[in-house]
Amino acid sequence: DAPAHISVTGGGTRNRLLLDIKANVYGHALDVVSVDEATALGAALLGGVAAGLYADCRAAAAAVDYDVVRIAPEPAVAAWYARAFADVYRHLGVTLAPLHEAIHKLDSPP
């Protein structure tokens, strides 16, 4: 089953154009989590679970307050990317295989 949305964090979330492109390519909404150091926070929360401060991961996550901005795909643009994948990109591996083999067989330059 396809996800309803995809959560994203990190420095790449500062680039709105990239987020729009990703939402359209994936064909799913992106939930941008407003936590500057998400990896460190996640590690601290897991440590809290291990230390018994939280009953489980859901309880640890519920203890954190953060904003989420949803970036929805644009249906027409997402459909274009889906067609591009189906009609072009999906076939690239098979199409380029003979060229990859030829490159592999090349000798090293003198």
Per residue in 56-70, pLDDT (tens digit) is 999 999 999 989 999
Instruction: Please state which of the ranges 35-39, 42-46, 79-83 shows the lowest mean pLDDT.
Output: 35-39
pLDDT at site 38: 87
Per residue in 7-26, pLDDT (tens digit) is 999 888 999 999 999 999 99
pLDDT at site 10: 87
Split at pLDDT 50, 70, 90, the class of 75 is very high
Instruction: Please list, residue by residue across 55-91, b when 16 or more beta carbons sit within 10 angstroms of its beta carbon and e when fewer do.
Output: eeeeebeeeeeeeeeebebeeeebeebeeeeeeeeee
Superfamily, domain 5-105: ATPase, nucleotide binding domain (3.30.420.40)
Domain ranges of the chain: 5-105
